[in-house]
Amino acid sequence: MAQLYGYARVSTREQNEGRQLVAMRDFGIPDGNIFLDKQSGKDFSRPAYRRLLEELKPGDTLVIKSIDRLGRDFDEILEQWRIITKERHTAIVVLDIPLLDTRKKDRDLTGTFVAVLVLQILSYVAQHEKELIHQRQTEGIAAARGRGVEFGRPPKEQPELFDEVRKTWECQEISAMEAARRLSVDRKTFLSWVEK
Active site residues: 11
Please choose, from the candidates 150, 158, 149, the residue with its C-alpha nearest in 3D space to the C-alpha of residue 180.
Answer: 158
CA distance 141 to 192: 25
End-to-end Cα, the chain, rounded Å: 68
- Quote the distance between the C-alpha of residue 128 and its chain's center: 15
Query: Angle CA(63)–CA(68)–CA(72) in degrees, nearest 5?
Result: 130
Give the span between the Cα atoms of 41 and 8, in whole angstroms.
11
Question: Is 74 within 8 Å of 84 (Cβ atoms)?
Answer: no
Q: What is the DSSP string of 93-114?
A: EETT-TT-BTT-----HHHHHH
Residue 186 CB neighbours (<10 A) = 13
**Torsional class of 184: left (φ above 0), alpha (ψ -120 to 50), beta (otherwise):** left
